[in-house]
């Protein structure tokens, strides 16, 4: 089962990916994670990416695609995978499609988690993170027992720079400009399925499982 999770930042892709990993025993492929792993492992593509990053430049699509190719050839992807956070643009989607065609594999489903912008802003700006142990909370959906104090280590919870309202609004604007057009790209290929991401997390999970069978 080759799956792509599609949706704006804060739509719940990471949470749903965990459920899919448990059910189908397939890996989640997140661009950031595999990029860091490739750099740490010192692969050819990882070293190429590091060169660009050390120069303060964006890693080009060709290098990202090369890293994804390396990841898809690993043994744990034999029975499928979950793509999360890639592609972000039409050129990336076209490059990925060409890559997968060459590897004689294809996407079975693209799951679009639909959540309105105002709800996403509420979700993300409500996050609180412990800088000591990394635990994550939410002021409404998963509040700590004591306000702004970590349940696990007693650290003082903080709002990450990426979780401020201004940053979230800017990320959403970028998403709508660059990534949203991919909806039509995958709809035209008959593999895009929409899911109401405003529901309870477990309800969303069940909706996705029904789609995938």
Active site residues: 13, 88, 127, 160, 171
Q: In the chain, what is the greatest distance between 2 CA atoms, to the nearest angstrom?
A: 54
Q: Are 193 and 112 in contact (CB under 8 A)?
A: yes
Give the pairing type, strands 127-129 and 136-138. antiparallel
Q: Are 9 and 120 in contact (CB under 8 A)?
A: yes
Assigned token pair, 23: 């059910």
């Amino acid at each position: 089962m080759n799956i792509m999770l599609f949706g704006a930042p804060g739509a719940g892709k990471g949470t749903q990916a965990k459920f899919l990993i448990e059910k189908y025993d397939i890996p989640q492929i997140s661009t950031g994670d595999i990029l860091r792993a490739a750099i740490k492992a010192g692969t050819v593509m990882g070293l190429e990416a590091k060169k660009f990053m050390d120069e303060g430049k964006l890693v080009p699509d060709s290098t990202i695609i090369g890293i994804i190719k390396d990841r898809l050839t690993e043994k744990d992807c034999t029975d499928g995978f979950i793509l999360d956070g890639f592609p972000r643009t039409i050129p990336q989607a076209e490059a990925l499609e060409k890559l997968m065609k060459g590897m004689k594999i294809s996407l079975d489903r693209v799951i679009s988690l639909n959540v309105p912008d105002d709800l996403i802003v509420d979700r993300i700006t409500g996050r609180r993170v412990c800088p000591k142990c990394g635990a994550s909370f939410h002021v409404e959906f998963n509040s700590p027992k004591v306000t702004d104090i970590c349940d696990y280590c007693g650290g003082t919870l903080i709002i990450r720079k990426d979780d401020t309202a201004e940053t979230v609004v800017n990320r959403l604007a970028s998403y709508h400009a660059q990534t949203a057009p991919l909806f039509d790209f995958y709809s035209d290929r008959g593999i895009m399925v929409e899911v109401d991401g405003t529901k309870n997390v477990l309800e969303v999970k069940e909706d996705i499982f029904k789609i995938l069978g």
